[in-house]
C-alpha cells in the first residue's frame, strides 16, 4: 500500500492472518503454498494480483474492482496510432573493430 505500508491487511486465505501492507505480496505467495486446498478455491483478479476472491464471485469482483479504473484509464491514454513495425531481421549490433591478432 503506497499510502500506508504499515497498515494491516487481512489475508484472503487464512482469515486470522494480519499482514503489513508492505509484506502482503510476499505473504500471499507463501500462504498459497502452505494452503493449496484453500488457494485452489480462490481466483485472482485480473486487475490486481493481490485480490483473491472465491471463484464464484470473480465476475462480480471484476465489475466492482477499484483497480479496473486504472486499467481503463491506461487503455484510454494509449496513442491511437498503430505501432510501427520493427524490422525482424535480428540484432543490428556490430562488434567494434579489433586490432588484436591472437595468432601472433
Short-list 13, 37, 40, CA closest to 27: 13
Q: What is the CA radius of gyration of the chain?
A: 24
- pTM tops 0.75: no
- Residue pair 31/19 in contact (Cβ under 8 Å)? The answer is no
The set of long-range contacts for 70-74, using a CB threshold of 8 Å and a minimum separation of 24, is 71/47
The strand pairing partners of 54, in sequence order, are 42
Sketch the domain layout of the chain as residue ranges: 1-37, 41-75
Concatenated DSSP letters of 24-77: HHHHHHHHHHH-HHHHHTEEE-SS-TT-EEEGGGHHHHHHH-TTHHHHHHHHHH
Q: What is the pLDDT of residues 51-67, one digit of tens each?
A: 999 999 999 999 999 88
Q: What is the pLDDT of residues 25-55, one digit of tens each?
A: 999 999 999 999 999 999 999 999 899 999 9
Amino acid at each position: 500500500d503506497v499510502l500506508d505500508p504499515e497498515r494491516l491487511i487481512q489475508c484472503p486465505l487464512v482469515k486470522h492472518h494480519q499482514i503489513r501492507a508492505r509484506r502482503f505480496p510476499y505473504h500471499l505467495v507463501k500462504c498459497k503454498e502452505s494452503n493449496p486446498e484453500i488457494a485452489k478455491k480462490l481466483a485472482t483478479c485480473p486487475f490486481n494480483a493481490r485480490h483473491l476472491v472465491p471463484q464464484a464471485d470473480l465476475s462480480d469482483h471484476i465489475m466492482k474492482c477499484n483497480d479496473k479504473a486504472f486499467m481503463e484509464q491506461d487503455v484510454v491514454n494509449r496513442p491511437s496510432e498503430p505501432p510501427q513495425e520493427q524490422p525482424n531481421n535480428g540484432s543490428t549490433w556490430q562488434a567494434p573493430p579489433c586490432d588484436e591478432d591472437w595468432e601472433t
